[in-house]
Structure 1
Amino acid sequence: MSSSAEAESAAAAATERFQRHDSLYGDAEKVTNGKHHGSGDSWARTLMLAFQSIGVVYGDIGTSPLYVYSSTFPDGIRHPDDLLGVLSLILYTLILIPMLKYVFVVLHANDNGDGGTFALYSLISRYAKIRMIPDQQSEDATVSNYRVEAASSRLRRAQWLKEKLESSNAAKIGLFTITILGTSMVMGDGTLTPAISVEVVWISVAILFLLFSVQRFGTDKVGYSFAPIISVWFVLIAGTGMYNLAAHDATVLRAFNPMYIVDYFRRNGKEAWVSLGGAVLCITGTEAMFADLGHFNIRAIQISFTCILFPSVALCYMGQAAYLRKFPENVVDTFYKSIPVAMFWPAFLVAILAAIIASQAMLSGAFAILSKALSLGCFPRVEVVHTSSKYAGQVYLPEVNLLIGVASVAVTLGFQTTANIGNAYGICVVTVFSITTHLLAVVMLLVWRAQPALSAAFYAVFGLVEFLYLSSILSKFAEGGYLPFCFSLVLMALMAAWHYVHVLRYWYELDHAVPAAELAAVLARRDVRRVPGVGLLYSELVQGIPPVFPRLVDKIPSVHAVFVFVSIKHLPIPRVAAPERFIFRRVGPVDHRVFRCVARYGYTDPMEGHREFAAFLLDRLKTFVQEEAAFASTTSGSSAAVAVAEEEQRLIDAEAERGVVYLMGEATVTAAAGSSLLKRVVVNNVYGFLRKNLRGESHKALSIPKDQLLRVGITYEI
C-alpha cells in the first residue's frame, strides 16, 4: 500500500472514530496505564513492604491467641489428648487456609494489584458482561488496565462459561448477591474485631471510643508505625511459646501428626464438631491479606506470612497447649495465665496495643471495600474522605465509622465475654472465606483458563473444609450467631435496594435520552440565548443527551457559550492515569460549541476538587479541539480547520475566565403506576429514605460549591 493510501486510511479511521455515535462510549473504556503499586519492586523494596505489612495486615490474625483456646473449650478440657487434637487442628487450619489458599493462590487473583471481594467481582466482570448496568461494550477488551485475552481464542469451555454467565440473569444476580454478602460480612468483621480483642469489658469500651473518634485523622500518618509494635508482639508470643514448651511439656509437638485430629473427633463426636467454631478463630483476619494487597505486593505478603506470622503464632499455640497440659483449669484465660509473672504487665500493655491495631486494620479494610462498592453503584452515597496522598485506597467514611462504632460498643456491652462474641465472629470469618472460594473457582475457569479438574479439586477441598467450619458455627446461631446474620441481611437488603433502583434509573435515562436532532432544534430556538461562561451539566449517561437538558432549557431559556455534558464513569479497575482521565466528542456543528465528556476513574481514584477538575477538563478540551482539527485537516487537505480550532481554543479560554457554572439534575425517583407493592416499598420508601438521610447529594461528592451550582428538578417514574 502506498504512503498516500495509508494516510487516507488512517484519516478515514480517525474520522470514523470522531463521528461514530458510540465512539465516545468505546473510547471511554480505553486506558493504557496498567502499572500498579508493587509491580517490579526490588528485593529491598519488597522486604520493606513485608515489614510494613506486619503492622497493617496481621494485627487481627496475630492477636487470635488471645481467645482461641477459651472459645474452643468453653466448658473446660475433658481429656488431656483433646489439647493435642485441637492444637493439630489449629496448626493444619493455619497451613491449609491462610498459607495454601490465600498466600499461594488467592493473592494471584488480584485486580491490577488490588484485592478483596469487589476486586474479584470486577475481575470477572471484565471477562464476562455480568454487571447489571448496561455500560459494557465489546471495546472493553481493548482496555489495557483490564485488557483480556478472549477466552474463546484458547479454550471452548471458558467461552461456554462466559456465554452462560452473560445470558443468565440468575447467574448475574447470584454473583452480585454473594459479592455484597461478602461485603456485609466484612462489615460484621469490622464490628466484632474491636469487641473481641480485649478481655475486660470496660477497657474494651474505652478503647472503642478512642479508636472510632480518631478515625477521621486517617491512618496514613500512623499506619506504618504499627509494624514495630506488632513485631514486638510477635517476638513476645513466640518467646512465650518457646518458654512454655521448655518449661511445661514439649511433647505437644506430636500434634503435627494429623492423626490426633482423627482421634479427637472419634473421642468427642458431636462436641468436637461444635468446637470447630472456636478453633476457626485462629484464622480471623486472613482476608486482610487479600483486602490490603493494594498497599503492598504479593511477594511481600508471602514473605511476611511464612517467615514472621506463621512461626510466631504456631509457637504461641504450641506453648499454650504445653501450659494447658499442666494447668487445664486455666483454659478460660490461657494467654495471660501462660505468661511468666515478670512479663505480665509488659505483655498486657503490648496486647492492648496489638488489639487496637487489629481493630484498625479491619476498619480500614471495611472502609476501602465500601468505597469500591460505592463507586460501582452498589452502596448508598456517603461522604468519602481520602486520608492519604500516597495511597488512594486509604479512605475514611464518617457515616460508616459511626455505624460500626455504635454497633461495636453495643456488641461489647451485650455479649460481655469473648466466647459469646466468638460465636458471632466466626460466622463472618468463614462466610467471607466461602465466598472467596466460590468467586475464585469462577476466576480459575474464566480468567486463568485452568483445567476443570484443578478448579474442581480446589473448590472441593477448600469448599468442604469451610463448609464443616460454617456448619459448626451455625450450630451456635442462638448463642450469638444470629447477630452477624441479621446485621448482614439488613446491610445486604439496603445495598440490593440501592443498586436495584440505581439500575432502573440508569435504564430510564438511557431510554429517554435526547436525540441529536432534538438537541439541534433546542439550540435553534429563538428564545434560547447563549450566555457567557462555561456550563458543565453532569449526568450518569456516557452516550446520548440526558433527559434533564430540555427541562433545563424550558425553565431557563439559555445555554452557556461553551457547554459540556459531563459523565463520571467508574471503570472496574483500581486506577486510571490522570492524562487519560477525559474523553471528548463534539455534539453538533462547530459553531454550537457543545461537547460530550466522559471523566473516567478507577474505584480507588479520589475525585479532584471542583477547580482542579474544571481546569483539567478545559485544558483537555482544548487538546481535543486541536486533535480534531488535525484529523480534519488531514482528511480535507486544507489548513482551514486548524485556524478555526485555534480561534475556538481562544474562545474556550475567554469563556473560562468569565466563570464555570455546574448544572445537575436532581431526579426524584418514584415507582410507576401499576407497580407491585414490593417495588413501591423499595423505590418510594427504602431508596427514598437512604437518599434523604445519607449524604447522597452529588455536588458534595464532586466538591462543587453551592454558589456555582444550578440544580434542576425532574421526576422519573420507573
Structure 2
Amino acid sequence: MSDGDVREAAAPEGNGDRKLQRYDSLDVESGNVLHRHGSGVKQAATWSVVLHLAFQSIGIVYGDIGTSPLYVMKSVFSGGISNTEDVTAVLSLILYTLTLLPLVKYVLIVLHANDNGEGGTFALYSLVCRYVKVGLIPSQQAEDRQVSNYQLQLPDDIPEKRAGWLKSVFENSNYAKYILLFLTMLGTSMVIGDGILTPSISVVSAVEGIAVATPAMTRDVIVWISVAILVLLFLSQRFGTDKVGNTFAPIICIWFSMNTGIGIYNFFKYDPAVIKALNPLCIIQYFQRNGKDAWISLGGVVLVITGAEAMFADLGHFSVKSIQISMTTLVYPSLVITYTGQASFLRKHPELASDTFYKSIPGAVYWPMFVVAVLAAAIASQAMISGTFSIIQQSLALGCFPRVKVVHTSAKFEGQVYVPGINYLLMVACVAVTVGFRTTEKIGNAYGIAVVFVMVLTSLFLGLIMIMVWKTNLLLVILYAVTIGLIELVYLSSVLYKFDQGGYLPLAFAAIVMMIMYVWNYVYCKKYYYELDHKITPERLKEIISDPNLRRMPKLALFYSELVQGIPPIFEQYLSNVPALNNVLVFISFKSLPISKVPQEERFLFRRIASDDANVYRCVVRYGYSDVHGSSGRGESFEVTLVEGLKGYIRSNTAGGDEEGRGKRDVEAIEGAWDAGVVHLVGESDVAAGKGSGIRKRITIDYGYNFLKRNLKQSSNEVFDIPHEKLLKVGMTYLL
C-alpha cells in the first residue's frame, strides 16, 4: 500500500473490535489500540480502601500543616505582644485563613482539578495541554484522543466564546506557550524548595522544646540533634510511602489528639472569651491599630497553612475522597481547637509569646508531648518529600528533567514513588539549611515565600482551568479571584518583605531547579527537532531495506528512539557500522501523553513499514506521566508485552482470504526471530552546539546539558530493564 492510502487497523484478535482509520505514511501514524479489558478507566475504590488511604494520608500529608502550631505564634509575635486584643485578632486571621485556603480552596475546589487522580502543578498543566495545543513538541496524534483517560468531561450548556478566545491566544502565541511552561517549572521548583525547608523548620522547632525545659541546652546541641533526626528521616524514604504511612499515621493521630485535648484544656482554663475571634471585625480593628506591623505579621500567620499544597501534590499517593475525609474529620477541627487554646493561653500570658507551644503544655504531659512533637516534626517533612518525588516523576515524563531513577514502592497503591538520587540531594540541602540558619525564625522567613508562591501559581492554573476546561460561570471565577486570589496576593506581599532576612533562599533553590529544567527541556526540544528535520525519508528507507549487500540476521531487533514521526537518522549510523538487518525489525518510539496514566491495553500503536514481506514495523509506546516505564502491570516484561501486541496487530489486519495466510507467515516469522533471540538497539545521541553558535547556546548545550547527562541521567537499559547481554548502544553526535 502506498503512502497516503488509507488502512484500517483493527484491535487484536479476541481483544475487542474497535477500529481506527489512519493514513499509512511515515509522518502520520496508523496502528491499533489494544483492548483486552475494556476501556481501562480506573475503577472507583471501595470504602475500605478509601478509609485505609485516609488513615495513611494522616501520616504522609498532614504532618507539615499539623506541626505548624509549634512555630506560628512565635513567628507572628516575634516582637512581643503589646495589646492582648491583638491575640484575638490574630486568632481570627488564623481561623479564616485555615477555612478559606486549605478547606475551601484545596478540599472543595483544587482537589477536583486532578488529572485522573494525580495532583500538583504538572497535573494542572497537563489538563490545560489536553484542551489547548500548548505543547512544544509536535508529537500529537489523532489516536491519542481515543485513550480512555484522555477525554475531558466538558460541560455543553455554557457558551464557548470566552474559553475559545483564551484558547486561541495560547495556541497562536509561542510566547504564551513558553510563559505557561515557565510558570509550570516555577511551581515545580517551589514545591521542591518547600521539600527542603519543611524538614528544617519542623524538626528544629520541635527540638527547641529541650531548651524550654532545660535552659542550659545550647543552640549547637539543638542543631545537631535536628540534623541527626533529618538524616534518619531521609534514609527511611527508601521503604516507600505505603510502609512509611502505616508507621507514621498512628503517631500523627496521637499528635492531633493530644493537641486537641490541650487546646480544649487551655481554652476553658485561661480565657474562653477568645471565641470573639469568630467575628471578622477583629481583623479590621487589628489593622487599624497596628498598620504596617499588622501587614508584616501576616508573614507569620501564613505559616498556619504550610503543607496545604501537599494535599494536592500528594494526591497521586491517595485519592480525593481519602484526603477530604481525613482533612474534614480530624485535621481541620484539631487545628482550630489547637490555635484557639494557644490564643487563650496568650491572652493571660502575653510575655510567653516566644515559647507559646511548649509553655502552654500542662506540666504533667510536657515530656510525653515533647517526644510526640519531635516524632511529628520528623514526620511533617514526609508530606513535601513525597510531593517532591511525585512532581519529579511528572517532570521526567514531559521532558523537563533528567531521567533519574524512579522506584515504585507499592504494588497495592498506584502513584507511590521514591527517587533515590533526589532524596539524597534533598537531605544534603536540608542539613545545610538547618546548620546555616539554626533558628526557626530565620527558616520561617524563607519558608513563607515558598508556601505562598506555590499557592498563587496553583490559583493561576486553576483560573485557566475554570475558564477553558470547566467553563465555570464568569461570576464564580471573579468571586474566586477577589477572595482566595486576593488573600494569597496579600500574603505574598507580606512574605516578600522579609526577602533579605532569609526570604531569598527558596527563590535561590527555585532558580537552581529551574535552570536544570530549562537546560534539559531546551536541549530535549532541540534534539527532537533535529531528528525530525533529519529523519530517514520513506524512499531512503526502501532503498536501505532492499539493498542486497545487507546481510540478514535471524534475531528480533528492537530499535529504540524518542522520535514519533519517522525513523531517526541514528539508524543509518548503525547500518554504516553494522551492515546487516535482522529478520524482524521493530522501531520503537516512546511518547508521554499529557495524562497521568495510559491503560496497558491502550498503550501500543503498531504499523507496518516498507514492503509487506520485509517484516519491518513501527511501534509508538505511550505512557502517562505517572506510569511505570517498561512494565506491563501484569508481571510481564516489556519485551513480552510488545511482541504479543505486535502479533495481535498482524492478525487483526490480515483476517480473511489470502491476507490471513500472509498474516500467519508473518506471525511465524516473528515467533522464529523471537526464539532465535532479541537484541535491543538503543540510540543514544550526544549533542554539541553547532558551528557558529552563540556563547549562551554553547554554554547551555556543551556544558550545562552534558554535565546533567553525565551526573543525573539514568541509562536507557536501566529505565526499560534491558539485560546487558541483549543491549547494543548506537552512538551519534548531533550538532544542534
Aligned-pair distance for 1:112?
1.2
The secondary structure found in structure 2 opposite 1:79 is coil
**Counterpart in the other structure of 1:650:** 668
Aligned-pair distance for 1:648?
1.9
Residue deviations 1:120-141, cap 9 Å, x none? 0000000001111112245544
- Mapped contact 1:533–1:562 kept (Cα < 8 A): yes
Residue deviations 1:143-170, cap 9 Å, x none? 3312136899941221221111111112
Residue deviations 1:531-575, cap 9 Å, x none? 011111101112211111111111100111110001111211111
Question: What letter corresponds to residue 671 of structure 2 in structure 1?
Answer: D
Aligned-pair distance for 1:40?
3.4
The secondary structure found in structure 2 opposite 1:666 is strand
**Counterpart in the other structure of 2:233:** 211
Mark the CA change 1:215 to 1:52 in structure 2 (over 3 Å): closer, same or farther. closer
**Counterpart in the other structure of 1:612:** 637
- Mapped contact 1:368–1:393 kept (Cα < 8 A): yes
**Counterpart in the other structure of 2:214:** none
Question: What letter corresponds to residue 113 of structure 2 in structure 1?
Answer: A
The secondary structure found in structure 2 opposite 1:599 is strand
**Counterpart in the other structure of 1:587:** 609
Residue deviations 1:265-320, cap 9 Å, x none? 11111111111111100000101111122333323322222221111011100101
Task: Provide the rounded CA distance (Å) in 2 between the counterparts of 1:46 and 1:400.
Answer: 29
Aligned-pair distance for 1:221?
2.2
**Counterpart in the other structure of 1:684:** 702
**Counterpart in the other structure of 2:4:** none
2:296 to 247, 266, 274: 274
Aligned-pair distance for 1:44?
4.9
Aligned-pair distance for 1:453?
2.7
Aligned-pair distance for 1:264?
1.2
Residue deviations 1:242-283, cap 9 Å, x none? 000111111111111111111111111111111111110000
Mark the CA change 1:150 to 1:189 in structure 2 (over 3 Å): closer, same or farther. closer
2:74 to 70, 90, 94: 70
2:728 to 710, 714, 718: 710
Aligned-pair distance for 1:702?
1.8
TM-score between both structures, scaled by the size of structure 1:
0.94
**Counterpart in the other structure of 1:420:** 442
2:315 to 276, 293, 304: 293
2:41 to 35, 59, 67: 35
- Mapped contact 2:587–2:618 kept (Cα < 8 A): yes
**Counterpart in the other structure of 2:389:** 367
Question: What letter corresponds to residue 270 of structure 1 in structure 2?
Answer: K
**Counterpart in the other structure of 1:597:** 619
**Counterpart in the other structure of 2:180:** 175
Structure 1 unaligned blocks of 5 or more: 1-6, 634-638
Task: Provide the rounded CA distance (Å) in 2 between the counterparts of 1:139 and 1:160.
Answer: 26
Cα RMSD (Å) = 2.4
Mark the CA change 1:465 to 1:327 in structure 2 (over 3 Å): closer, same or farther. same
1:156 to 128, 150, 161: 161
**Counterpart in the other structure of 1:333:** 355
1:628 to 653, 662, 672: 653
Question: What letter corresponds to residue 705 of structure 2 in structure 1?
Answer: Y
Mark the CA change 1:532 to 1:42 in structure 2 (over 3 Å): closer, same or farther. closer
**Counterpart in the other structure of 2:499:** 477
Structure 2 unaligned blocks of 5 or more: 1-6, 12-17, 208-222
1:527 to 528, 549, 562: 549
**Counterpart in the other structure of 1:508:** 530
Task: Provide the rounded CA distance (Å) in 2 between the counterparts of 1:463 and 1:717.
Answer: 46
Mark the CA change 1:34 to 1:91 in structure 2 (over 3 Å): closer, same or farther. farther
**Counterpart in the other structure of 2:269:** 247
Question: What letter corresponds to residue 409 of structure 1 in structure 2?
Answer: V
Aligned-pair distance for 1:438?
0.4
Residue deviations 1:180-220, cap 9 Å, x none? 11111111111011111123322211111111122223222
Percent identity between matched residues is 51
Task: Provide the rounded CA distance (Å) in 2 between the counterparts of 1:30 and 1:180.
Answer: 35
Question: What letter corresponds to residue 59 of structure 1 in structure 2?
Answer: G
**Counterpart in the other structure of 1:186:** 191
* Pairing 1:385–2:407 present: yes
Task: Provide the rounded CA distance (Å) in 2 between the counterparts of 1:10 and 1:274.
Answer: 65
Task: Provide the rounded CA distance (Å) in 2 between the counterparts of 1:141 and 1:524.
Answer: 36
Aligned-pair distance for 1:75?
1.7
Aligned-pair distance for 1:91?
0.5
Alignment of 1:541-580 (within 5 A): 541-580=563-602
Question: What letter corresponds to residue 308 of structure 1 in structure 2?
Answer: L
Alignment of 1:395-474 (within 5 A): 395-474=417-496
Task: Provide the rounded CA distance (Å) in 2 between the counterparts of 1:49 and 1:79.
Answer: 44
**Counterpart in the other structure of 1:94:** 98
**Counterpart in the other structure of 1:376:** 398
Mark the CA change 1:162 to 1:150 in structure 2 (over 3 Å): closer, same or farther. farther
- Mapped contact 1:569–1:601 kept (Cα < 8 A): yes
Task: Provide the rounded CA distance (Å) in 2 between the counterparts of 1:423 and 1:44.
Answer: 41
Aligned-pair distance for 1:66?
0.7
TM-score between both structures, scaled by the size of structure 2:
0.91
- Mapped contact 2:589–2:619 kept (Cα < 8 A): yes
- Mapped contact 1:30–1:142 kept (Cα < 8 A): no
Task: Provide the rounded CA distance (Å) in 2 between the counterparts of 1:129 and 1:301.
Answer: 31
Residue deviations 1:430-470, cap 9 Å, x none? 00000001000000011001122322321232221111111
* Pairing 1:232–2:262 present: no
- Mapped contact 2:198–2:381 kept (Cα < 8 A): yes
**Counterpart in the other structure of 1:358:** 380
**Counterpart in the other structure of 2:244:** 222
Aligned-pair distance for 1:626?
0.6
Mark the CA change 1:26 to 1:436 in structure 2 (over 3 Å): closer, same or farther. farther
Task: Provide the rounded CA distance (Å) in 2 between the counterparts of 1:35 and 1:281.
Answer: 39
| Mean Cα deviation higher: 603-612 or 230-239 | 603-612
**Counterpart in the other structure of 2:15:** none
Task: Provide the rounded CA distance (Å) in 1 between the counterparts of 2:522 and 2:64.
Answer: 34
Mark the CA change 1:86 to 1:163 in structure 2 (over 3 Å): closer, same or farther. same
The secondary structure found in structure 1 opposite 2:401 is coil
- Mapped contact 2:130–2:150 kept (Cα < 8 A): yes
Mark the CA change 1:374 to 1:533 in structure 2 (over 3 Å): closer, same or farther. same
- Mapped contact 2:593–2:624 kept (Cα < 8 A): yes
| Mean Cα deviation higher: 345-354 or 139-148 | 139-148
The secondary structure found in structure 2 opposite 1:221 is helix
Residue deviations 1:57-106, cap 9 Å, x none? 21111111011001111121121111111111101100111111111111
Aligned-pair distance for 1:27?
5.9
- Mapped contact 2:41–2:599 kept (Cα < 8 A): no
The secondary structure found in structure 1 opposite 2:586 is strand
Task: Provide the rounded CA distance (Å) in 2 between the counterparts of 1:8 and 1:350.
Answer: 64
Task: Provide the rounded CA distance (Å) in 1 between the counterparts of 2:424 and 2:625.
Answer: 23
Question: What letter corresponds to residue 35 of structure 1 in structure 2?
Answer: V
**Counterpart in the other structure of 1:663:** 681
**Counterpart in the other structure of 1:3:** none
Mark the CA change 1:395 to 1:333 in structure 2 (over 3 Å): closer, same or farther. same
**Counterpart in the other structure of 1:125:** 129
**Counterpart in the other structure of 1:490:** 512
- Mapped contact 1:140–1:147 kept (Cα < 8 A): no
Question: What letter corresponds to residue 386 of structure 1 in structure 2?
Answer: H
* Pairing 1:142–2:167 present: no
The secondary structure found in structure 1 opposite 2:79 is coil
- Mapped contact 2:346–2:352 kept (Cα < 8 A): yes
- Mapped contact 1:26–1:137 kept (Cα < 8 A): no
Task: Provide the rounded CA distance (Å) in 1 between the counterparts of 2:329 and 2:286.
Answer: 30
Task: Provide the rounded CA distance (Å) in 2 between the counterparts of 1:655 and 1:158.
Answer: 53
Task: Provide the rounded CA distance (Å) in 2 between the counterparts of 1:141 and 1:565.
Answer: 23
Task: Provide the rounded CA distance (Å) in 2 between the counterparts of 1:180 and 1:9.
Answer: 39
